[in-house]
């Protein structure tokens, strides 16, 4: 006998009708318990803090542009923005995945500890600032001071980079395909190894890209800022 009451595994919210609070409460308190795995969000209209702090393996698709902090503090969830994202996309992400199909504003992936942030278009200033272990793949270019004080993790930039890329870099590694206007303090180009090429190949594949890993350059820390020296007259 046919199942007359099939199990529903999807839910749609329309922010032209439903409130942002209703959406976020559902994502936090109800979706996983109801066995809902796919949530579609229509008409976000630049709303801030959509899908922040998720801690379940949800698949959230946002159809339109979003404001500040989309998918911030994410754990386990996969969030896709079919549009552009405002400042702080994926900020402090712990695990999971955020895919911005358009462009991202300032500080995308700031302080992200884990997971994968994919930006198909360009990213603005300070992409990956204070990165703490996540991976970031940018299909376009990045603005100035990207990866500033990045402590751990990897960033792949398929386009160009503006001024002060990797300023005060620690253990994070940057791979860039295009032109770099300038490197920040203590950042330097280093030879690509087989391990680097394998890492770039894996990250590009995870982002669904087909760029040639052989065209990327490695940027890492010269480690001269790791310790303060009294005789440096604070000139670094």
The pLDDT of residue 155 is 98
Look at residue 12 and tell me if it is in a domain.
Answer: no
pLDDT over 90 at 5, yes or no: no
Its domain, for residue 72, covers 45-209+217-224
Over range 201-228, report the average pLDDT. 93
Over range 21-50, report the average pLDDT. 96
Look at residue 21 and tell me if it is in a domain.
Answer: no
With b for 16 or more beta-carbon neighbours within 10 A and e for fewer, the 114-123 pattern comes to bbbbbbbbbb
Please state the domain count of the chain: 1
pLDDT over 80 at 13, yes or no: yes
The pLDDT of residue 230 is 61
Look at residue 55 and tell me if it is in a domain.
Answer: yes
The pLDDT of residue 233 is 58
Look at residue 151 and tell me if it is in a domain.
Answer: yes
The pLDDT of residue 170 is 95
- As beta bridge partners, residue 16 has none
- Please give the mean pLDDT across all residues of the chain: 94
Look at residue 8 and tell me if it is in a domain.
Answer: no
Over range 146-172, report the average pLDDT. 97
Look at residue 96 and tell me if it is in a domain.
Answer: yes
* Distance between CA atoms of residues 90 and 71, nearest Å: 5
The pLDDT of residue 231 is 63
Look at residue 18 and tell me if it is in a domain.
Answer: no
pLDDT over 50 at 229, yes or no: yes
The pLDDT of residue 85 is 98
pLDDT over 60 at 1, yes or no: no
Confidence of residue 154 (pLDDT cuts 50, 70, 90): very high
Kindly report the CA angle at 71 between 69 and 77, in degrees rounded to 5?
175
Look at residue 137 and tell me if it is in a domain.
Answer: yes
Over range 211-224, report the average pLDDT. 96
Over range 65-80, report the average pLDDT. 98
Beta strand segments in 101-227, E:
116-119, 132-138, 152-157, 173-176, 187-190, 217-221
């Amino acid at each position: 006998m046919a199942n007359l009451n099939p199990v529903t595994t999807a839910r749609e919210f329309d922010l032209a009708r439903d409130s942002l609070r209703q959406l976020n409460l559902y994502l936090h308190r109800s979706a996983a318990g109801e066995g809902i795995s796919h949530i579609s969000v229509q008409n976000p209209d630049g709303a801030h803090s959509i899908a922040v702090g998720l801690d379940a393996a949800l698949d959230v698709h946002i159809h339109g542009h979003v404001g500040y902090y989309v998918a911030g503090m994410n754990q386990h969830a996969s969030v896709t923005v079919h549009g552009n994202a405002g400042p702080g996309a994926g900020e402090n992400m712990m695990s999971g995945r955020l895919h911005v199909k358009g462009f991202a504003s300032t500080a995308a992936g700031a302080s992200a500890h884990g997971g994968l942030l994919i930006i198909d278009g360009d990213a603005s200033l300070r992409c990956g600032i204070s990165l703490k272990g996540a991976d970031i793949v940018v299909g376009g270019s990045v603005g100035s001071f990207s990866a500033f004080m990045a402590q751990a993790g990897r960033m792949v930039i398929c386009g160009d980079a503006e001024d002060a890329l990797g300023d005060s870099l620690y253990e994070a590694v940057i791979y860039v395909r295009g032109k770099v206007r300038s490197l920040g303090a203590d950042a330097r180009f280093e030879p690509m190894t087989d391990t680097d090429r394998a890492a770039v190949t894996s990250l590009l594949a995870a982002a669904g890209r087909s760029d040639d890993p052989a065209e990327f350059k490695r940027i890492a820390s010269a480690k001269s800022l790791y310790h303060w020296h009294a005789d440096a007259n604070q000139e670094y």
